[in-house]
Structure 1
């Protein structure tokens, strides 16, 4: 194997049943520079190790590293990046699947930008559950949050090591949601801006079981409140207790009694997000955004 010029970091926890799809996609890359793959195991109790090691012949630059010093995707990302052998870092998740030109596109993008991200599509791996969450079936730009600030989603990310070092890594205090927004905001404060790479398509997996979707959205709501409590952006005016009550009652009254199963599950996902936001804000002692 040639000396790698970039490193793909994959945080993983109990992903033995899914990571083969991602590793297979990386083994089938087209036009990619030499790259290594670093799977950062966040303390898995399944067959992750044996599954990853079974891919070594097809991915000669594959390594499995111990990222079990703490729980969470930010811990795994930080450990994986710290142990990568190169200064161009590509980040994806164990349960998703990169497109055939993903490595080449992200690596090329990092020649021009300190941070890059690309589009995600939700249909290939998610099926009907793609309709249950507020993500476009295929995105066409960087993700956007309060005040029009943009960020790259954490499962489709490229960054130069200097950015990660200057920012101080991913904040490991976050629940599983909004940590990539926090990273992007802190990077922006230091003058680092994202570039968008249209060719860097990633197939994003939304949980196909309702319980998984609700847990995912609940954690996203928790992360949103953590983000607000940390930065308190001026453009966000937290709701008063009365406005908050009216808002939540309005959501309750919007239950789609006459809608189909997908509409009801979409409503439940929204309520899970709101619940996570309110509960985390209460725990932090800050207003809910």
Structure 2
């Protein structure tokens, strides 16, 4: 993994997923201890109710994990920031940030650690598969022309369209060096796109991104994102809303005025694409995706309009 003086922490942000901690984090900890016997486990529990808080306390106590109880729901990025701060206080030099619905084996952890040992300024991630063995994440490019996404494998030789790669926050190995130069996650995203933003700021600060293709993690996406409908593809309202909204938040954070205008013009189209990730059948079963579309488009436009006013008082149509 890493030289002996490096200390690994497992950082998990939990929200109403105590049952997943008992199923997945226990396994991840056992695998991690084959690599780093004195691994630290830190669970940040975003508030979701009394029953869940009691359940998380019980599982954390049973396994000797450090539990950080948030009085509110700070979102994913905010939770990671809390967990990383505690990990550093506990003496960790490296952290594996992993979702409650994800797991990884010891051999893959060894490969991630070796990658950062060779390059401490690298933000590192494995290839991620779903529970059926299908590839869920193997590198994704953000296309800067309009803010859409493309799988890394679909890059075409000679294509000059500008893009930026990013790594999924579902499973990230973060060194203390990378954390300090990047400044951590941006709390304003709350959910989704915070890993896109984080990846960009790591590179902007002088770090690098590395996808370790011979390391594998498993992510059961349905454990935290699936909606309560008959459609197995349907996502939660939060998934739809924040993916629509946060695309424009990223734009105003990182693009010039022309770029923001380009992305704003395509808000309705890209919002439809987000909704259709859950399939068409859901549209006949629930108003959730329609409600998320309306809210997301409205707030994305508000973000762009406010940015336009802040940049000189111009109201964009």
TM score, norm. by length of structure 2: 0.70
Residue 217 to residue 200, structure 1, CA distance change in 2 (3 Å) = farther
Q: List alignment gaps of at least 5 residues for structure 1.
A: 57-61, 126-136, 256-260
* Structure with the largest fraction of strand: 2
Q: Which residue of 2 aligns with 1:264?
A: 281
Q: Which residue of 2 aligns with 1:155?
A: 170
Tell me if 1:145 matches 2:142.
yes
Residue 276 to residue 97, structure 1, CA distance change in 2 (3 Å) = farther
Structure 2 matches for 1:29-44, cutoff 5 A?
Answer: 29=31, 31-34=34-37, 35-44=39-48
Tell me the distance in 2 between the aligned counterparts of 1:121 and 1:270.
Answer: 26
Structure 2 matches for 1:51-200, cutoff 5 A?
Answer: 51-56=59-64, 62-68=65-71, 71-84=74-87, 85-113=91-119, 114-124=122-132, 137-139=134-136, 141-146=138-143, 147-200=162-215
Assess if the C-alpha contact under 8 Å between 2:184 and 2:198 holds in 1: yes
Assess if the C-alpha contact under 8 Å between 2:267 and 2:300 holds in 1: no
Tell me if 1:232 matches 2:255.
yes
Shift of 1:224: 1.3
Shift of 1:92: 0.4
Shift of 1:116: 0.3
Count of matched residue positions in the alignment of Structure 1 and Structure 2: 262
Shift of 1:237: 5.6
Tell me if 1:202 matches 2:220.
no
Residue 173 to residue 248, structure 1, CA distance change in 2 (3 Å) = closer
Tell me the distance in 2 between the aligned counterparts of 1:17 and 1:240.
Answer: 40
Residue 93 to residue 240, structure 1, CA distance change in 2 (3 Å) = closer
Assess if the C-alpha contact under 8 Å between 2:97 and 2:170 holds in 1: yes
Tell me the distance in 1 between the aligned counterparts of 2:98 and 2:125.
Answer: 11
Bigger mean CA offset, 186-195 vs 231-240: 231-240
- Pick aligned residue for 1:278 from 276, 297, 302: 297
Tell me the distance in 1 between the aligned counterparts of 2:227 and 2:264.
Answer: 35
Shift of 1:33: 2.2
Q: List alignment gaps of at least 5 residues for structure 2.
A: 144-161, 309-315
Q: Which residue of 2 aligns with 1:222?
A: 245
* Structure with the largest fraction of helix: 2
Tell me the distance in 2 between the aligned counterparts of 1:248 and 1:168.
Answer: 29
TM-align CA RMSD? 3.6
**Aligned partner of residue 189 in structure 2, secondary structure:** coil
Bigger mean CA offset, 226-235 vs 176-185: 226-235
Assess if the C-alpha contact under 8 Å between 1:225 and 1:278 holds in 2: no
Tell me the distance in 1 between the aligned counterparts of 2:105 and 2:252.
Answer: 36
Tell me the distance in 2 between the aligned counterparts of 1:101 and 1:272.
Answer: 43
